[in-house]
Structure 1
Amino acid sequence: MSLRVSADQDTGVAVVTLDRPHRLNALDLDTAAELTSVWRTFRYDDTVRAVVLTGAGGRAFCTGIDRDAEVPQPPSPYMMDDPLLRIGPKANDLWKPVIAAVAGMACGGAFYLLGEAEFVVADETATFFDPHTTYGMVSAYESMYLAQRMPAGEVARLALMGTAERIGARRAYETGLVSEVTAPGGAPAAARACAEVIAAQPAEAVQGTVRALWAAKEASLARCLAQAPQLIALGNLPADRQTELFAGRRAGGFRVR
């Protein structure tokens, strides 16, 4: 299992932990399937009223899809199989609040998860970046999710500069991506404290509010996401060229704002 799931029936809070620290919590196909299963299980469990989502190991919350994952694609640019499309709670019709607790790196496909969390708590070690353009890939879904939370210029800078720039927790707070910054190691406890308060409210009112908040941005996001497969299929370099660029990446070649 690549996830750890625990639930406290007294508080109504469940904790979902991405548990692949040896791979910086990158998502392979099994982990993606486990996330889908967990969110759908929570839909039927009335003892779970709020969820904290975090990553094990401290070095990373999540670093997107595992480069070793094999995802065959159809030849048409109008059809694309994205294994991360169903990893988020909203994609699985779960309208219980999810709070993300971030330490270390959050990049690339991590934004599928952060984009479907109600809000994000990060500790001072957190850094956020999007490596797609550096490796010859279109940042489509990631940028679309980020654009729901951050000013357009900040999203553009983060997406277009690739691995050359990361934003730290304080800058992420200033731009709206993060709602609270804690001392190192403090994000899970802070997120859990919020989740416990939320879980103590009447469940129907909470879930209705979650649904209302999502509805406020759902129409524009749905139109954006509908264009993503073609943009990716047309703009991505061939897989072998991406692999060459990834293999040639330089350590330390970035700045943190």
Structure 2
Amino acid sequence: MGKRFKFQNLEKIPDLTLVSIVKRKRDFEIIKKEKWYRIPVKNAPKEIAQIKYLAFYFPKIFGKRKWQILYYGKVKNIEVRKRIDLLPKEKDNPNALEDYYKITIKNLIRLKNPVVSKKGRRIIFIITTLEKLLNSKEINDLFITSPIEEKLYSELKKNNIPCERQYFVKEGNDFYSLDFAIFGKKGKIAIECDGEKYHLTKKAVFYDRERDNRLTSSGWWVLRFYSKDIKKSPERCVKLIKKTIKRIS
């Protein structure tokens, strides 16, 4: 895959939604009582100015409620404040003087159907839509990706093949985002969906080869499918994926 969301004009999505991790229980108490949450400016997604809804992902610290999205709210206001102004009792925090987005919501709404992470991923941010949030069963349903990725994801679900989308892997000092990751008892598979326009350029071919080599040396099976393969013969792609799954099961 090329640059993140390169193929999407997110500014035109009317119900653009940000899913953000809630790292501490006391932060959720602020969300419930004061209806605002903070995100470091230096780490925030570039689409933050366009978001209309904010949803909250609970990590392991939330016990029985971990690894799921249970609540969201409509954004009322976004402003930049110093952390120390938002949390004056934490003046000794090393980030006290850093800039943070203070995102105020109009209300806190509980989802009728929680969106869960079956693998228990530590997800920091996901850009999605309100429609996806309200209709998704699991985290992997939320991602806004290219048409060919959506097509392959649909085929994987149709064939009951569990996978993780937009899965980050660290190799040395580099992070790679895998379009799809599949895990087995004896190994793991990285699946990439490549658009010919970008991935057949000289620069992209060199980058993809280096990346594939590093992933392979770390135990990944790497499968690449061009858009024409997914569009014309999705069943052949799935057949090859199933064959590889047998090798790692």
What's the TM-score once normalised by structure 1's chain length? 0.23
Rg comparison, structure with higher value: 2
Higher share in helix = 1
